[in-house]
Amino acid sequence: MQVTAFHVYDIKYVSAKDLNYNPALGTGQMQIRDIHYVDEERKTAEQFIKMIDDKYIKSNGLKFWVKLAEKFDWIKPN
């Protein structure tokens, strides 16, 4: 076997439309829509975290995100 080409992506810069949360893959698994066509979207680490939180909440609901956030001390419980 011989490698003839490759691409490397910084996950933080993969565009929001190209990165999806897929619950069928297991907890916390992200999926790139089409690895051959990836758009770059520059964002800070904070913007990236907000994007993946929003995708998780859209997929599973806010209640499940809050439960995880409290479990792992991302936020303080009320």
Domain count for the chain, please give it.
1
What average pLDDT does this structure show over 39-53?
Answer: 93
User: Is 5 contained in some domain?
Assistant: no
Q: 18-28: per-residue pLDDT in tens?
A: 998 877 787 67
Q: Is the pTM of this model over 0.85?
A: no
Query: Per the domain annotation, does 31 fall within a domain?
Result: yes
Does a structural domain hold residue 39?
A: yes
Q: Is residue 27 part of a domain?
A: yes
Give domain status of residue 52, yes or no.
Answer: yes
Q: Which residue has the tokens 């490698």?
A: 3
62 within domain boundaries: yes
Find the domain containing 46 and state its range.
11-71
Determine how many CB atoms are found less than 10 A away from the CB of residue 8. 4
